[in-house]
Amino acid sequence: AEPGVVPAVEATADDIATMEIRGAATIADAAAAALATQADRSGAESPAAFRRHLRAAARTLYETRPTAVSLPNALRYVLRGMDGETVADLRASTIARAETFRRDLERAQETLGEIGANRLRDGDVVMTHCHSTDALACIDVALESGKAIEAIVKETRPRKQGHITARQLREWGVPVTVIVDNAARRYLDRVDHVLVGADSIAADGSVINKVGTSGLAVNARERGVPVMVAAQTIKLHPDTMTGHTVEIELRDEREVLSDEERATIIGKGDEDESAAEDDGLTVDNPAFDVTPARYVDAIVTERGQFPPESIVTLMRELFGETTDEPWTV
């Protein structure tokens, strides 16, 4: 814990790291809310201390998960709005800025939903991967406008976020078929759209989303099914304009193999193994993958629908050339 960071910020950071709070938009919203709480409860007695503690809070949140750029984009936006000569002014401006961010985030998702819904026709079958609030917003608006939609929901190993998608869609009355990830290609011939969200979108139009998205997109192309990515502009990754790549999070191997399962594979009880001993068994658990632009038919944002190859023009317009990290200074 860094000095001056309030416990509620630590708790939010923990929830993001453990995926209690998850999904790029939800993470961004929680991070902005946490900075507002930091501002509200800060014990800082000087403006300099207030700013230092706010930056420390942003750092604490930043270090939780590396792939969804909505997190640093949210932190940057709120910190840039921290303005004033007194603690009281700094507090008020930071809280107001965080509120603006959260309101805009919600509005952007609604607008994106209206745009994305135009791609969906009455009677369409949509295949989903993971759980994306941006993707679901498109279905929500389509349903509201009276279109019947069916969904084939990929389970999404290892964390099974498909269950969250299935629950939401059933709440809306959408007929849902849940399948294991490996069954996706078999079901694609019944599907009109693959509809996914994004954690980050790179300047070359490639889409970083839950691991498995790229294989799904390649299969969809082979089957002639269009791939639609629903992503608010908060998902655009400014660093990729200057050649940086997006870090793919590697998560704990226990999400894939429990200690018992590992011991069974290795063929000995886990008690006679020291943690440091190399038993020759590696488990890789990347949480995300990269879908090249050529497998994506449309990126739907609140600013309209874009072919992935032209997303960079929107990025330049929104971010200019500034990709500072105000929490590091």
- Which residues are catalytic, by number? 130, 199
Stretch that binds ligand RUB, among 6-14, 18-26, 216-224, 236-244 (CB under 6 A): 18-26
Q: How far is the CB of 90 from ligand RUB (least distance, A)?
A: 29
Give residues 103-162 in contact with ligand RUB (rule: CB under 6 A): 130, 132-135, 161
Q: Which residues pair with 288 in a beta bridge?
A: 210
Using the rule CB under 6 A, which residue among 26, 100, 177, 285 binds ligand RUB? 26
DSSP states along 11-42: HHHHHHHTTSS-SHHHHHHHHHHHHHHHHHH-
Burial environment of residue 253 by CB neighbours within 10 A (0 to 12, 13 to 18, 19 or more): middle
Task: For residue 264, give the amino acid letter.
Answer: T
Query: Counting contacts by CB under 6 A, is residue 23 touching ligand RUB?
Result: yes
Q: Which residues pair with 127 in a beta bridge?
A: 152, 194
Query: Counting contacts by CB under 6 A, is residue 285 touching ligand RUB?
Result: no
Pick 52 or 160: Cβ nearer ligand RUB:
160
> CB-side exposure of 262: number of CA atoms within 13 Å?
19
Query: Counting contacts by CB under 6 A, is residue 25 touching ligand RUB?
Result: yes
Pick 209 or 240: Cβ nearer ligand RUB:
209
Query: Counting contacts by CB under 6 A, is residue 102 touching ligand RUB?
Result: no
Using the rule CB under 6 A, which residue among 4, 22, 73, 228 binds ligand RUB? 22
3-state SS class at 138:
helix
Stretch that binds ligand RUB, among 92-100, 191-199, 220-228, 318-326 (CB under 6 A): 191-199
Q: How far is the CB of 231 from ligand RUB (least distance, A)?
A: 7
Q: How far is the CB of 228 from ligand RUB (least distance, A)?
A: 13
Query: Counting contacts by CB under 6 A, is residue 197 touching ligand RUB?
Result: yes
Query: Counting contacts by CB under 6 A, is residue 219 touching ligand RUB?
Result: no
Using the rule CB under 6 A, which residue among 140, 199, 297, 302 binds ligand RUB? 199
Q: Distance (Å, rounded) from C-alpha 196 to C-alpha 198? A: 7
- Segments of the chain assigned E as strands: 124-128, 149-154, 176-179, 193-196, 200-201, 207-210, 227-230, 288-291, 298-301, 304-306
Q: Distance (Å, rounded) from C-alpha 241 to C-alpha 139? A: 31
> CB-side exposure of 53: number of CA atoms within 13 Å?
28
Query: Counting contacts by CB under 6 A, is residue 24 touching ligand RUB?
Result: yes
| Footprint of ligand RUB (CB under 6 A) | 22-26, 68, 130, 132-135, 161, 197-199, 209-210, 287
